[in-house]
Chain A
Amino acid sequence: MLKTFTEKLGQTTLRGIEELGYSLALLVESFYWLFFGFRRHQAVKLPSIFSQMMHIGIQALPIVGILAFAIGMMLAIQGIATLKTFGAESQVVLGIALSVTREFSPLIIGILVAGRSGSALAARIGTMQMAQEIDALRVIGISPVRYLVTPAMIAMLIMLPALTFFADLIALLGGGVYSSLELGMSLQAYADRTIEVLQIDDITQGLYKSLVFAVIITLVSFVNGFSVTAGAEGVGRATTRSVVLSITYIIIADMVFTFFLTH
């Protein structure tokens, strides 16, 4: 019993270290191809980056809009209800502005993209692995990292901050709509007050976080996709695992990030 437990613990630790090493190698290699690919006549192709940006970013705009608006409203509802006890309802603008830009937008967008695009990447790579398409790329002389990982990585690094910024705007709007209805404040006054309290650092803090999340989602999805070995079930397992792990790492990274940024 104890032996199987320690054995399992050892195996899990080893697998974790192995995956961490693999992820780092993948990160380095994907940037190697971006900057030096042309030297080996394997430049990263722009159309493949654009097509990934389309999948990851543009097509996610509607759902991001809905989520962000709802979160802005939710923060306003909570904020006003809580601040009422101190008679400080008007401070809700500050509360919404800071929590949206620093915390909620990057976190929610990170989780959404992990669920939406991370799972799709893991499933696609897993299926390609099963159908020997990855081997086919390699024997044709095309690096799978250059062909698959780098475009997705670049697209994530561009689109995740872009989506986060978009979510900032929509969530602030959502908060403003509710506040103006509840407090009788005009939207104009809400916007002026928001601009007054918001520092540029608050916004960039959120965007930096989203860059880290972009790297996490891409690496976790590809590491899990590439490691698929057993059939359709394996693809399913890799997909689930990559979503769960991405979200876990995103939340932990967010906590660490927030700690250092506020100290």
Chain B
Amino acid sequence: MMSNHHTPTDQAAIEVENLVTHYGSTRILNNIDMQVSTGEIMVIMGGSGSGKSTLLRYMLGLHEATSGSIKLLGQDITEINAEEMDELRKNMGVSFQGGALFNSMTVGENVCLPLREHTHLDENTIQIMGRMKLSVVNLGGFEDLMPAQLSGGMIKRAALARAIVMDPKLLFFDEPSAGLDPVAAAELDDLILRIRKALNTTIVVVTHDLDSTFRIADRITVLDKGDILMIGTVEEVRNSDNERIQSLLNREARHIEIDADEYIKELTGQKS
């Protein structure tokens, strides 16, 4: 396996400690503890509603946690001020589920936006760097197209080009293979591995795609209903005898036991 040729260093690039989050009054994440080493590819997997996307959004600093800490590159994002967060963001790249390319800009402008906003490079250099990153994701020559003219796979690759244009130390993916055919999904997996190999980037991938997970992961965090079921290597997760993990791996439907009386009460609208 390609991913096994790489040995991440021990130094943690991402440390999540006792993270608790709420949405309104509903608790979404319970005491999450996890670490991602520098240069490691960590895949966060779990079923729908497991809290995996929520965990990612908190790591990106898009919401404020109820309690706990999230350290990125040694800085606790729950404590630093807005300016320090802006600085930190220059070392982070994110590829969103739908790509999130800016529809009013060309592909090239999308990719170059972080450079335009954060660097004082001249226009020519910016253009060249943009084209370079587009050719990394096999989209050389597409810089003048609008996002609406691209296919789903191309949008994801363009979004990846934008995410890596600043050569970030941390790279985050939300459902990279969602909506892609198996070939395009495999290509994206290869790209993720190549980027890590070239830049020793620490990568966090949130996905429910098992094939993709086993192809790229160094370690896997399995989430279920806001709790971590286990963190381990691909082999450890595969060999786990935890029932819920096995049902996730074998794509079994969840069986929810309901008491008959409770069910009747629920149907008739009586509170138990």
Contacts and interface: CB of A to CB of B under 8 A. Distances in A.
Contact-residue size bin, chain B (C-beta under 8 Å from the other chain): 20 to 34
Main secondary structure of the interface of A (DSSP, over half): helix
A66 interface: no
Interface string B39-70: 00000000000000000010011100000000
Contact of A136 (B83, B102, B118): B102
Contacts of B102: 128, 133, 136
B123 to A, nearest CB: 13
B159 to A, nearest CB: 8
A36 B57 CA distance: 28
A141 B100 contact: no
B86 A135 contact: no
A131 B225 CA distance: 26
Main SS class of interface, B: mixed
19 contacts: A40-B83, A127-B103, A128-B102, A131-B98, A131-B103, A133-B100, A135-B60, A135-B96, A135-B100, A136-B94, A136-B101, A138-B62, A139-B62, A139-B89, A139-B92, A140-B162, A141-B90, A141-B117, A142-B113
Interface string A18-53: 000000000000000000000011100000000000
B75 interface: no
Interface of A: 40-42, 127-128, 131-133, 135-136, 138-142
Interface string B90-108: 1010101110111100000
A229 to B, nearest CB: 12
A137 to B, nearest CB: 8
Interface of B: 57, 60-62, 82-83, 85-86, 89-90, 92, 94, 96-98, 100-103, 113-114, 117-118, 162
Nearest to A139: B94
Contacts of B85: 141
Given A138-B62, A142-B117, A133 B103 contact: yes
Contacts of B162: 140
Nearest to B94: A139
